[in-house]
Amino acid sequence: MKIGKFDLDSGHVFIIAELSANHNGSLQTALDSIDAAKEAGADSVKIQTYTADTLTLNCDREDFVIKGGTLWDDKTLYSLYQEAYTPWDWHAELFEHARKIGMEIFSSPFDRTAVDLLEQLNAPAYKIASYEITDHALIKYAASKGRPMIISTGIAGYSDIEDAVNICRSAGNSDIVLLQCTSAYPAPLEDANLRTIPDMAERFDVYTGFSDHTMGITAPIAAVALGARVIEKHFILDRSAGGPDADFSLNRQEFADMVKAVRDTEKLLGFADYSMTDKKMKNRRFARSLYVAKDIKKGGVFTEENIRSVRPGYGAHPKYLERILGTKADKDYRFGDRFETEETK
């Protein structure tokens, strides 16, 4: 599967810098963030396409006031989204700028009109946010466009994930990435449940990854080790500037450190390999093999005292020792001689 020019089968993890609300209402900050994410090693930047009116009602009744120990308690949903949204008239410039510097860029649409806007911009994929996984109409409409679908599972039960995957496939779209996600901001490490990543890949026959809201970079590294093909992490130029998502976002140096750690993890994982490489063969010289431990005259009996398995590895394989013990020498042997068999001569 390809997301733009990036091939998920390339052996490299697709690393997404989630801009979200971290532009703090400044187009220049959004553009600078794209540049900084590129410099930090991200493969893509992701934005969000909604307005307060496409997400909620401008209502301050109790149902619409955020509670529950979040970073945004006591705000109305409308005021939060009004503060956090990315103006739609920025989108074309953001897409053009990212592409100019060789970055992939795509977005999370939150309604059909957002999908229509992103279609005009030729977005390479659609990201369904965790809280939209129950919006079957949105998933169906986005999937019908035939672009890869990246779906976060932060509030999803098994049936929700199953429904989302089936909706995509029924729309003729099997290019699906499921992201393990914990919808807490920030998310405790013990709630990450990263073993879900390989389990989802097996159960749903899809690509899997991790949308991370934990602090730091440990969780993405562990996710890659468990098979994540996509990592999404919130990115900010400067946390001190504040904003709705600042507390759980990485700055440019932290993001760069994460990218390096992910790329190092890719190297460490490699692939299943049992071949005898040149390096392995070279180092076999430090393995054990059979050597003469005492002088032996022709006709003498081989014993554990005069034939031993020791380092280095230039003699016969130690597996021959039991076969040799108790037989007679066919010639004189000196202390330190390599002991060879017909198979090793």
Q: Has residue 301 been placed in a domain? A: yes
The verdict on 237 and 278 lying in the same domain is no
R_g over Cα of the chain: 30
| Among 269, 301, 323, residue at a domain's last position | 269
Instruction: List the structure tokens of 65.
Output: 């006031």
pLDDT score for 309 = 97
The verdict on 261 and 287 lying in the same domain is no
pLDDT in tens, 169-215: 999 999 999 999 998 888 999 999 999 999 999 999 999 999 999 99
CA dihedral for 216, 221, 226, 231, sign (positive or negative) = positive
pLDDT score for 151 = 98
pLDDT score for 244 = 79
Q: Has residue 67 been placed in a domain? A: no
The verdict on 228 and 323 lying in the same domain is no
Task: Look up tokens 């971290």; give the residue.
Answer: 22
Q: Has residue 191 been placed in a domain? A: yes
Q: pTM (2 decimals)? A: 0.89
The verdict on 263 and 293 lying in the same domain is no
- When divided into structural domains, the chain yields a total of 2
Q: According to DSSP H, which parts of 175-251 are helical?
A: 196-204, 218-225
The verdict on 214 and 298 lying in the same domain is no
Instruction: Give the residue-averaged pLDDT of 304-317.
Output: 96
Angle at 321 between CA 319 and CA 325, to 5 degrees: 155
Tell whether the model's pLDDT for residue 218 goes beyond 80: yes
Q: Are 105 and 34 in contact (CB under 8 A)?
A: yes
Structural domain harbouring 98 = 9-50+85-269
The verdict on 265 and 281 lying in the same domain is no
pLDDT score for 307 = 97
Q: Has residue 197 been placed in a domain? A: yes
Instruction: Give the residue-averaged pLDDT of 64-71.
Output: 87
Tell whether the model's pLDDT for residue 342 goes beyond 80: no
The verdict on 182 and 283 lying in the same domain is no
pLDDT in tens, 87-140: 999 999 999 999 999 999 999 999 999 999 999 999 999 999 999 999 999 999
Which CATH number belongs to the domain containing residue 339 in this structure? 3.90.1210.10
> SS3 of 325, please?
coil
pLDDT score for 183 = 86
The verdict on 17 and 117 lying in the same domain is yes
pLDDT in tens, 238-289: 988 888 788 889 999 999 999 999 999 999 999 889 998 899 989 989 999 9
pLDDT in tens, 41-60: 999 999 999 999 999 999 99
**Beta pairing partners, 48:** 108
| Among 203, 238, 269, residue at a domain's last position | 269
The verdict on 21 and 144 lying in the same domain is yes
pLDDT score for 341 = 82
Which CATH number belongs to the domain containing residue 194 in this structure? 3.20.20.70
| Among 250, 269, 288, residue at a domain's last position | 269
Q: Are 143 and 128 in contact (CB under 8 A)?
A: no
Q: According to DSSP H, which parts of 216-325 are helical?
A: 218-225, 252-269, 278-283, 321-324
The verdict on 175 and 255 lying in the same domain is yes
Q: Has residue 4 been placed in a domain? A: no
pLDDT score for 345 = 62
Q: Has residue 204 been placed in a domain? A: yes
Using pLDDT thresholds of 50, 70 and 90, give the confidence band for residue 344.
low
Q: Has residue 74 been placed in a domain? A: no
Q: Has residue 73 been placed in a domain? A: no
- Separation of alpha carbons 37 and 225, rounded Å: 23
The verdict on 136 and 192 lying in the same domain is yes
Using pLDDT thresholds of 50, 70 and 90, give the confidence band for residue 343.
low
> What is the share, in percent, of the chain residues with pLDDT greater than 90?
88
Instruction: List the structure tokens of 196.
Output: 């879900």
The verdict on 147 and 209 lying in the same domain is yes
